[in-house]
Structure 1
Amino acid sequence: MTLRAIKTTVLLAAAFLSSTNLSFADDGCNGQAAAVVQRAYPDAVKASDTTFKVKELAITLPAEGAVEDDPHAVICRVWPAYPELMLVAVPLIGGQSDDGNAGDLELLVLDADSLGVRQRLFLAGRMTDDAVRITRLAFDTARYRLSPKQIAFGLRIFQHGSSGPNPFGEVGLSLYTIADGKLTSVLSGITVSDNHGEWDTNCAGTFDESSRTLSMQPTVHHGYADILVSETSSTTVASVAANGECVEQRNGPKKTTLLLTYDGREYTVPENIRSLE
């Protein structure tokens, strides 16, 4: 792989991460997005065929037949572990500009048949970004079994930087569960894909890539299963040889593991693998 190809990979890897599992899986509103918004936000005012306004915040409906995901559009997904429930993420956007976006995010758990809201969790400022933009939201409904009777779901947030000399891509995963009748966060922002680098836009540079998978363990702390994080990372260094050719050296892959334990409030994620907020 050439360094130029590696740069492209850095910019796009997050968008394609786990695409076989996640791509298009969040187009699960099945034409009911407007009804979902009207049930969850009775004061919402229809501003156009694809948008509602809640006070000064905009809610965008998913576009039918869209080729690319709109990171500011509502996403829905029936929860496979509990098929009577539908998961919904509602971006509430207050402002958009070339310099960045401002907004919140609300997660809803609905009755899949009636669309009645069972639980909701408001995440203030979660859709706010600047030079590093949020480019996609996706539900992750792998069976994150916290206890014999309790399963969490995930939300992945894809982010990309626009700098040519310093390309950056990241996918952050947070986990949520229903406990005591309330929707609550149990793991806030672990980076499951990280691609970044620095180069002269011609040849010389260094790129780092890492990916992480989570697997539930039989050991338990404070009632919730431990989570084993398996990491694979590599570094590619390129330089100009004496003959003027661009020479690349890839170091890795390096494999490591880390155990996350629940402290009674959340799973503690080390700072170096926490995702951007």
Structure 2
Amino acid sequence: MKSGLIRCVALGGWLMAGQVFADCTPPAVEGEDMSACKDWPAYPGLTISAATRFQRGTVEALATHDLDLSVLKEGQPNPIAAYQQPAAFVMDGVRLSELKIDTARYKLTPDLRAFGLRATLTNGSRLNPLEEHQLSLYVRDGETLRPVLRQLVVYEYGGEWDDNCAGERFEISRTVDIAKTSSHGYADLIVKTQETGTTNVVEGDTCEDKISVSKPVLTTLRYDGKTYVLPPGFKGL
């Protein structure tokens, strides 16, 4: 933008229509409120804003992050479209460590583009590490932002080891492409999954890595009229 800064929506608690907040800042301290903003190149003059509000856990319930999304138009004080989701991320042994807006070319119909929200969850453990990157897609539907893909795992890393050598690790990476076919009027999504496994073993005085790489697997995600249906194991925490 001309000022070099991006405007966000103030989301103190739930989104208050028309309340505009200071210029976007980098994500806050891990485990607390986070925010991200980005201009939408496909639609000049529009900016996408995302923010989470951390809700501390109790004896009865886990900690969560509420999610607020909005699209702002340059020169207008109020968001032109918005979406709110309570407890969008549940902190079950993990923390939300990053939030990013994805404006790749997600063209679902000739006249409709989605934007993505990428979230990274980690557990911070050395012996049993876990890192998961999720992708959700949203489309503008009048004054509402509607989720059409929820929490697809596009990267996952995990495993366990003995803090010395012996252990096992896995890494899963996924890419998303737009197919030429469609379902219920929306383009199908082609997801390519690549999985790598590593086993560490002690051999003599050395620690050896044994790596196995699986063949890429293609999976087609189809829109059912409300959302893209994810196969078992594809949805995030």
Hey, what does 1:146 align to over in structure 2? 108
Report if the CA contact (8 A) 1:71-1:135 is conserved. no
Amino acid at match of 1:30: L
Hey, what does 2:16 align to over in structure 1? 41
How far off its partner does 1:181 sit?
4.4
1: CA distance between counterparts of 2:151 and 2:28? 27
1: CA distance between counterparts of 2:121 and 2:11? 29
Hey, what does 2:54 align to over in structure 1? 93
Provide structure 2 residue ranges, at least 5 long, that are not aligned to the other structure. none
Provide structure 1 residue ranges, at least 5 long, that are not aligned to the other structure. 1-27, 51-59
Alpha-carbon displacement from aligned partner over 1:144-182 (angstroms, at most 9, x marks no partner): 000000000000000111222111111000000013542
How far off its partner does 1:43 sit?
9.9
Runs of at least 4 residues off by over 6 Å: 66-71
Alpha-carbon displacement from aligned partner over 1:15-57 (angstroms, at most 9, x marks no partner): xxxxxxxxxxxxx981644xx328953698x9xxx8xxxxxxx
1: CA distance between counterparts of 2:144 and 2:187? 20
Q: Secondary structure of the residue that 1:126 maps to in structure 2?
A: strand
1:234 and 2:207 aligned: no
Q: Secondary structure of the residue that 1:274 maps to in structure 2?
A: coil
Hey, what does 1:205 align to over in structure 2? 167
* Cα pair distance change 1:92/1:175, threshold 3 Å: same
Hey, what does 2:140 align to over in structure 1? 178
Considering fraction of residues, name the structure with more strand.
2
Q: Secondary structure of the residue that 1:74 maps to in structure 2?
A: strand
The size of the alignment, in residue pairs, is: 230
How far off its partner does 1:81 sit?
0.9
1:260 and 2:221 aligned: yes
TM-score (normalizing by structure 1): 0.74
Considering fraction of residues, name the structure with more helix.
1
Amino acid at match of 2:174: R
Q: CA RMSD in A?
A: 3.1
Report if the CA contact (8 A) 1:71-1:137 is conserved. no
Hey, what does 1:189 align to over in structure 2? 151
TM-score (normalizing by structure 2): 0.86
Out of 159-168 and 132-141, give the one that drifted further. 159-168
Structure scoring higher RCO (CA < 8 A, sep ≥ 6) equals 1
1:218 and 2:187 aligned: no
Q: Secondary structure of the residue that 1:250 maps to in structure 2?
A: strand
1:62 and 2:63 aligned: no
Out of 128-137 and 145-154, give the one that drifted further. 128-137
* Cα pair distance change 1:212/1:115, threshold 3 Å: farther
Calculate percent identity across the aligned residue pairs.
31
1: CA distance between counterparts of 2:184 and 2:18? 40
Report if the CA contact (8 A) 1:160-1:168 is conserved. yes
2: CA distance between counterparts of 1:194 and 1:115? 39
* Cα pair distance change 1:91/1:67, threshold 3 Å: closer
1: CA distance between counterparts of 2:112 and 2:94? 35
Hey, what does 1:129 align to over in structure 2? 91
